[in-house]
Structure 1
Amino acid sequence: MPRKTLPVADGGQAPERADAAENRRKILAAAAELIEARGVEALSMDEVARAAGVGVGTVYRRFGDRATLVYAVVDARERDFQAAFLGGPAPLGPGAEPRARIRAFLHALVDRTEEQLELLLMAEMDSADARFKEGSYALYQQHLTLLLSEVRPDADAAYLSDALLAPLAANLYRYQRRTRGMSVARIKKGYDDLLAQVTG
């Protein structure tokens, strides 16, 4: 039976008009520059609009709220990451056995959370369900569910995939790193132990 595959998430967006695409590019570039210059806490929709040379209404119509805008800034690297785990080299991509792929995927997610923690924190603090509304979470969950179904066909793979993603909520990750002083290596080792229990 052929392995199921998942498409790279595109947020379900229809093709954009040229002017809308240009506005999106300017807004995201302005937001990224403001974050780099002054930190994620300083980001405001009004300031992004001024820096991008568009009306603030355009920013709100395009992104809705600050959390959605922050996730859109993260999106460029996200697409590369999705392409890697869906079609890149093993063990992150296809070709390795399911346990090895799950482990590589979770370790890669730890690295991404470490790298973009400030952005993820701001997005999740602005909206309680931002993490779940953002399209990549659903893709992660589906990806893990497919792999877990191969390893544990008797288990509730959809529930287990949510359980494996839960430790990477930005506020918990920050607490482990900054308050409890856990290293990235320790978090990955913890994931290995958790995975061993989940996959039997």
Structure 2
Amino acid sequence: MTEPSAGRRPRKDATRNRAALFAAADELFLRCATPEEVTMADIATAAGVGKATLFRAFGDRTGLIQALHAARMEPLRAAIAEGPPPLGPQTPPAQRVPALLDAVLCFKLDNRHLALALEQAGSGSPYSAEHYEHWHTLLRELLEQIPAVDDGDFTAHALLAATRADLVEYLAGAKDVPRERMRTQLASLVGQLITRGSGT
């Protein structure tokens, strides 16, 4: 029996199913009261596919959440990797750091329950998760280039804590803090930490 080529493209029906599952999960996470309410059965039903198809595609609920989050985050990652200012690599670190954190905050505000589900997924420490390590490494490397910052590693952790999904959900949901107020407060915090004495 011939093995399928490793580089072979997914079948059209598999691609359609994946898109339908992502769309269904997006809608369910958007409308739910808490992310725990969203089950694999709910997603499969909303997408019009069998549960077996869903589990075959993603393995389990954590796998689905991780894949959906990565897909929705891809435009932001691309902008950071190769885009224009203020997120792109040509932007000076002291301007790029606040722009990056603002973008992360806006993403979590737009995808509150998905982001919260991702942080709650798995049984290990959230600080060892791939997505957290990615953002921490990027921030630390930028912060280490800013003279006003004494400890880039700790400062990166502190700034990421201000954009944690559970905090965003609490402020935007339970406390009804307006979006622009949250963005302004985060920008003020970042400015206090990175611009004092930096000459920018």
Q: TM-score, normalised by structure 2?
A: 0.74
Amino acid at match of 2:74: R
In 2: Cα distance, 1:115 partner to 1:175 partner = 14
Matched, 1:185 2:180: yes
CA shift, 1:30, in A, is: 2.0
- 2:3 is matched with none
In 2: Cα distance, 1:45 partner to 1:24 partner = 18
- Length, aligned pairs only: 185
- 2:99 is matched with 104
Which residue of the other structure, out of 129, 132, 150, is the alignment partner of 2:145?
A: 150
8 Å contact from structure 1 (residues 67, 124) kept in 2: no
Amino acid at match of 2:119: E
Query: For residues 28 and 131 of structure 1, do their structure 2 counterparts lie closer, same or farther at Cα, with a shift above 3 Å needed?
Result: farther
Greater mean deviation of Cα atoms: 100-109 or 66-75:
66-75
Amino acid at match of 2:85: A
In 2: Cα distance, 1:25 partner to 1:131 partner = 31
CA shift, 1:183, in A, is: 1.5
- 2:20 is matched with 29
- 1:119 is matched with 114
CA shift, 1:135, in A, is: 3.0
Amino acid at match of 2:115: L
- 1:91 is matched with 86
Identity %: 26
- 2:159 is matched with 164
How big is the alpha-carbon RMSD for the aligned residues of Structure 1 and Structure 2? Answer: 3.1
8 Å contact from structure 1 (residues 149, 157) kept in 2: yes
Give the gaps of 5 or more residues in structure 1. 1-14
Deviations 1:126-174 (A, max 9, x none): 4465854553322211111111000048622122111111122212111
Residues 66-85 of structure 1 aligned to structure 2 (within 5 Å) = 66-85=61-80
Deviations 1:51-88 (A, max 9, x none): 564563x6446534323312312222211110101110
- 1:135 is matched with 130
Q: TM-score, normalised by structure 1?
A: 0.74
8 Å contact from structure 2 (residues 28, 43) kept in 1: no
Give the gaps of 5 or more residues in structure 2. 1-5
Query: For residues 45 and 21 of structure 1, do their structure 2 counterparts lie closer, same or farther at Cα, with a shift above 3 Å needed?
Result: farther
8 Å contact from structure 2 (residues 21, 54) kept in 1: no
In 1: Cα distance, 2:167 partner to 2:12 partner = 35
Bigger CA radius of gyration: 2
CA shift, 1:44, in A, is: 2.2
8 Å contact from structure 1 (residues 49, 55) kept in 2: yes
Query: For residues 35 and 160 of structure 1, do their structure 2 counterparts lie closer, same or farther at Cα, with a shift above 3 Å needed?
Result: same
CA shift, 1:100, in A, is: 0.6
8 Å contact from structure 2 (residues 97, 139) kept in 1: yes
8 Å contact from structure 1 (residues 24, 62) kept in 2: no
In 1: Cα distance, 2:125 partner to 2:163 partner = 14
Query: For residues 133 and 116 of structure 1, do their structure 2 counterparts lie closer, same or farther at Cα, with a shift above 3 Å needed?
Result: farther
